[in-house]
């Protein structure tokens, strides 16, 4: 008897995750490229120095505020029309509004551009849902859910670099009048957004051609983008092989021969046509709100919203703090150590360089440290540690403005930024995993992530607005600590609900369950290995009673040889309209050229025809030993995990 096989190791769908990452990559570039020049751009619209923080915060908040309004509709849209159309529409909208932002000539136009960008993009929750549907297994979730934050961190490296290096290339001063200005002199902040639009174009193209739809109710629908992508891939591969042959990097014998006898007679498309068409289940209505918002899901939404609030507020306020003029002299003769108002006095290029290095550190933490630490200590424990560390970082950072030199200020501030970076890198994927595993089923996951997009967008809108307002108010009265300590208080409040969370089980099922296809392939491989090793001990395959009767009848006719290529090719020519030939030929008639030319019909029985289609005619759960308990249990699990009840 063959030895029992081990369970096949589950693997990430690397190809589809990579395509999704390419689609996602342009968004962090567009979002983070504006941070270095945002205060300077707001100032160029004629805003006073003390009001820059407030209006910069409003520009940052408008994106998230409009995203909060449309997050749930985008989630419902993806539950009905699919994840792929929603993602592509969001990318197109963001590309157009990014260009509108770059070509803004006044503050109202810039605010409207940011608002339209947020309203037209719900990809934060939709991409998270797509990843959850691609990778439902809990043991793979730390790696899978850390991929999109990793992409964001990589984009956060290039975004500030692009924004800091390309913004205002001619150093145009606010309200400076120039005769016959060129394009970049008239629109000094357009160039970073033009570069971001190129990245969006690449993401949209790759997504349209190669991204697969993960929504269960749309499985089997015709995807013209994928069809075009497959054709282009075949054309490119053909040209590459031709070039390799011309350059003698490949011999012609190594090239696949389309007329080779080893090619199967029945192509995959023909096999699919022979299969009975299963009726598709009618689409079910979207889940109710009571199904989506259970206790743990509501707590996770609260944690995620508060986490987005103080994190986004920090990221948007930091460039304003760095750009604000440094302390020149003591503004108060009292002994109050908290009364000071000053920043670093850096320009947009230096701010972009600092944020770029900050993004590199985040990428390294995300890639090398987060997955092993999260697997060892658990995502909930990691989130609790981060919740404690956030208030400490916010409490300390305003005091870096009191240091005597610019280098010392930047160095200490960057050290505190690394603490916050570490916490953010761990907190967001952990919160996302906990939120995903709190869903009652995959059916509600799209709507739940739509709620997460909207609620977190409220936090991302409120955070910069609160921080910008408190910063402007604080510096007027000599207290730059006002904004940072406001975030400290909010982070303390946000830490409370974390201790009420429970880590869910996920949607991957039991460890001994794998897909039907993998089980079937492994059974066939194990049977072949066992037969080759012990041919005398090989068990006869399971044959239904009706087939045994047919076999006995055929033996009375004289039996048949195993089907060969020649027999299959010749017998296929003589099939009648019903798909079967008339019995009556001799045992070797199917291989006789003269008989075929004379019109004699070679014999091909129903049994033989089934053997030709043996790979496609086996029902789900039916192996060489019949239906096993594992197959039947996995069948139910597959129906639930695939979202068939959507």
Q: Please name each of the domains of the chain with its CATH number.
A: 14-218+289-500 (1.20.1250.20), 516-641 (no CATH)
Q: Are strands 622-623 and 626-627 parallel, antiparallel or unpaired?
A: antiparallel
Q: Which of 313, 640, 279, 583 is nearest to 444 (CA)?
A: 640
Given pLDDT bands bounded at 50, 70 and 90, which one contains residue 1? very low
Q: Which of 189-193, 253-257, 292-296, 427-431 has the lowest mean pLDDT?
A: 253-257
| Residue 597, pLDDT score | 41
Neighbours of 244 (CB within 10 A): 14
Q: How far is CA 219 from CA 84, 106, 505, 646, in A?
A: 12, 47, 26, 11
Check residue 479 and report its DSSP letter.
B
Distance CA 122, CA 359 (A): 24
Q: What percent of the chain has pLDDT over 90?
A: 25
Strand partners, 626: 623
| Residue 330, pLDDT score | 52
Q: How far is CA 394 from CA 316, 399, 418, 579, in A?
A: 13, 10, 12, 76
Q: Do 344 and 321 contact (CB within 8 A), yes or no?
A: yes
Q: What percent of the chain has pLDDT over 70?
A: 69
pLDDT for residue 201 is more than 90? yes
DSSP-derived secondary structure for 110-167: HHHHHHHHHHT--HHHHHHHHHHHH---GGGHHHHHTHHHHHHHHHHHHHHHHHHHHS
Q: Which of 38-47, 455-464, 629-638 has the lowest mean pLDDT?
A: 629-638
Contacts of 314 (CB under 8 A, 6+ apart): 394, 420, 463, 467, 487
What angle (nearest 5°) sits at the alpha carbon of residue 13, between those of residues 233 and 386?
135
Q: Do 604 and 581 contact (CB within 8 A), yes or no?
A: yes
What integer is the mean pLDDT of 419-446?
85
pLDDT for residue 579 is more than 50? no
Q: Which of 14-23, 139-148, 523-532 has the lowest mean pLDDT?
A: 523-532
Q: Residue 595 has which token pair?
A: 């008989």
pLDDT for residue 562 is more than 70? no
Neighbours of 574 (CB within 10 A): 18
Q: Which of 555, 558, 622, 634 is nearest to 589 (CA)?
A: 558
Q: Do 334 and 414 contact (CB within 8 A), yes or no?
A: no
Distance CA 336, CA 332 (A): 8
Measured N-to-C along each axis, helices 445-476 and 52-81 cross at an angle, to the nearest 10 degrees, of 180
Strand partners, 479: 340
Distance CA 467, CA 316 (A): 8
583: helix, strand or coil? coil
DSSP-derived secondary structure for 568-623: HHHHHTT--TTS-PPS---TTGGG-HHHHHHTPPPP--HHHHHHHTTTTSSPTTEE
Distance CA 469, CA 445 (A): 36
pLDDT for residue 616 is more than 80? no
Neighbours of 600 (CB within 10 A): 16
| Reported pTM | 0.61
What is the helix (H) or strand (E) element at residue 626, kind and residue range?
strand 626-627
Distance CA 499, CA 302 (A): 12
Whose tokens are 């985008």? That residue is: 74
**Which of 15-29, 518-532, 564-578 is predicted most confidently?**
15-29
Distance CA 454, CA 448 (A): 10
SS3 content of the chain, % helix, strand, coil (to 5): 65, 0, 30
Whose tokens are 């947009």? That residue is: 348
| Residue 280, pLDDT score | 52
What does the buried/exposed string (b/e) look like for 132-146 if buried means 16 or more CB atoms within 10 Å of the residue's CB?
bbbbbbbebbbbbbb
Instruction: Tell me the three-class secondary structure of 152-165, residue by residue.
Output: HHHHHHHHHHHHHH
Rg (CA), the chain: 32
Q: What is the pLDDT of residues 160-179, one digit of tens each?
A: 889 888 988 888 877 677 77
């Amino acid at each position: 008897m063959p030895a029992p096989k081990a369970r096949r190791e589950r693997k990430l769908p690397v190809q589809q995750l990579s395509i999704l990452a390419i689609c996602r990559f342009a968004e962090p570039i567009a979002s983070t490229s504006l941070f270095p020049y945002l205060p300077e751009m707001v100032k160029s619209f004629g805003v006073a120095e003390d009001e820059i923080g407030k209006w910069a915060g409003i520009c940052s908040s408008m994106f998230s505020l409009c995203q909060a309004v449309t997050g749930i509709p985008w989630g419902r849209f993806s539950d009905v029309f699919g994840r792929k159309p929603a993602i592509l529409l969001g990318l197109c909208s963001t590309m157009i509004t990014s260009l509108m932002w770059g070509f803004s000539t006044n503050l109202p136009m810039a605010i409207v551009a940011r608002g339209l960008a947020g309203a037209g993009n719900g990809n934060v929750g939709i991409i998270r849902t797509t990843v959850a549907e691609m990778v439902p297994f809990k043991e793979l979730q730390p790696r899978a859910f850390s991929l999109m934050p990793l992409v964001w961190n990589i984009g956060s490296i290039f975004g500030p670099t692009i924004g800091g290096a390309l913004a205002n290339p001619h150093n145009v001063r606010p309200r400076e009048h120039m005769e016959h200005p060129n394009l970049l002199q008239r629109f000094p902040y357009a160039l970073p957004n033009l570069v971001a639009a190129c990245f969006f174009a690449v993401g949209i193209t790759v997504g349209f051609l190669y991204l697969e739809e993960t929504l269960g109710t749309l499985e089997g629908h015709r995807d013209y983008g994928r069809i075009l992508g497959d054709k282009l891939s075949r054309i490119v591969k053909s040209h590459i092989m031709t070039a390799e042959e011309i350059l003698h990097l490949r011999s012609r014998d190594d090239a696949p021969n389309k007329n080779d006898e080893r090619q199967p007679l029945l192509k995959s498309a023909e096999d699919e046509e022979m299969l009975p068409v299963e009726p598709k289940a009618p689409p079910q209505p979207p889940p109710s709100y009571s199904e989506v918002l259970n206790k743990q899901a509501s707590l996770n939404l609260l944690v995620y919203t508060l986490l987005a609030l103080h994190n986004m507020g920090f990221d948007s306020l930091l460039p304003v703090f760095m750009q604000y003029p440094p302390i020149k002299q003591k503004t108060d003769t009292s002994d109050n150590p908290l009364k000071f108002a000053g920043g670093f006095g850096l320009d947009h290029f230096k701010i972009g360089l600092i944020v770029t290095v900050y993004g590199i550190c985040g990428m390294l933490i995300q890639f090398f440290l987060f997955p092993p630490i999260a697997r060892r200590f658990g995502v909930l424990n990691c989130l609790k540690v981060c919740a404690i560390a956030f208030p400490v970082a916010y409490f300390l950072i305003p005091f870096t403005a009191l240091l005597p030199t610019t280098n010392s200020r930047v160095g200490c501030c960057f050290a505190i930024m690394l603490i916050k970076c570490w916490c953010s890198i761990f907190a967001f994927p952990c919160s996302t995993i906990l939120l995903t595993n709190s869903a009652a089923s995959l059916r509600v996951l799209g709507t739940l992530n739509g709620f997460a997009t909207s609620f977190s967008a409220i936090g991302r809108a409120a955070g910069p607005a609160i921080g910008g307002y408190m910063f402007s108010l604080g510096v007027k009265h000599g207290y730059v600590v006002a904004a940072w300590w406001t975030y400290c208080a909010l982070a303390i409040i946000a830490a409370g609900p974390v201790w009420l969370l429970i880590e869910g089980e996920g949607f991957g099922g039991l460890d001994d369950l794998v897909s039907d296809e993998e089980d079937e392939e492994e059974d066939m491989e194990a049977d072949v290995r066992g037969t080759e090793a012990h041919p005398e001990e090989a068990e006869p395959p399971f044959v239904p009673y009706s087939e045994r009767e047919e076999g006995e009848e055929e033996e009375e006719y004289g039996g048949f040889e195993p089907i060969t290529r020649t027999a299959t090719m010749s017998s296929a020519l003589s099939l009648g309209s019903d798909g079967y030939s008339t019995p009556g030929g001799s045992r070797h008639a199917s291989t006789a050229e003269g008989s075929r030319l004379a019109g004699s019909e070679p014999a091909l029985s129903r049994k033989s025809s089934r053997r030709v289609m043996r790979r496609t005619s086996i029902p789900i759960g039916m192996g060489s030993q019949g239906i096993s308990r594992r197959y039947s249990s996995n069948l139910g699990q597959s129906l639930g995990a695939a979202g068939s009840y959507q």
